[in-house]
Amino acid sequence: MRSKFGIWVLMTAAIIFAGCTRDMRDDARLKPYEPSGVMADGRSAWRVPENTVPRGYLREDEAYFTGRANKKFVSDAPADAASRDLVRGRDIYGAFCALCHGPDGQGQGVMTEKGFPEGASFLDQRLIDAGDGYYYHVITNGFGRMKAIAGQITPEDRWSAVGAVREIQRKAAEDAS
């Protein structure tokens, strides 16, 4: 019985390893768009059609991806962002915003101790009255001394940061009353 099993294992291994030859490993392969005779135009791959959008990059929801609807800032976060994660928003705020705006949103971040100008206070009435889309737009594109940080924060995290700013404003209003 034991010898039959051993023979079976050896035969299986021989069949598997016989299929893997150096010829397969060293077979010719083409790099994308490398000149070759595969396509009629001399390329090795099809050209990407015009206006092709990579998977996951279709930006149909204007309000969600720009903070605007009909060329005006949205007052409230879009429905997709309404369920934003406030814990994640606090983390994003702490990492990207609190340095200039301070942990309490009054514009007294640690950067002011280093000689940089104060950040805007989120407790100013004009910023309390600003819509959520305005905050999203500023995070995305920058404003004044603030640089755009869209390349560092996903749209979802930007909306979460907006939620963290609104939470700071709510807490300040509760403390004042």
Domain boundaries, the chain: 1-52, 62-176
pLDDT of the chain along its 177 residues, tens only? 667 888 888 888 877 776 666 666 666 777 777 788 777 888 888 888 898 888 878 888 889 999 999 999 999 888 666 566 889 999 999 999 999 999 999 999 999 999 999 999 999 999 999 999 999 999 999 999 999 999 999 999 999 999 999 999 999 999 987
Closest CA to 93 of 140, 162, 152, 147: 162
Amino acid at 7: I
Eight-state DSSP code of residue 93: I
Q: At the topology level of CATH, where does 62-176 sit?
A: Cytochrome Bc1 Complex; Chain D, domain 2 (1.10.760)
Global confidence as pTM:
0.70
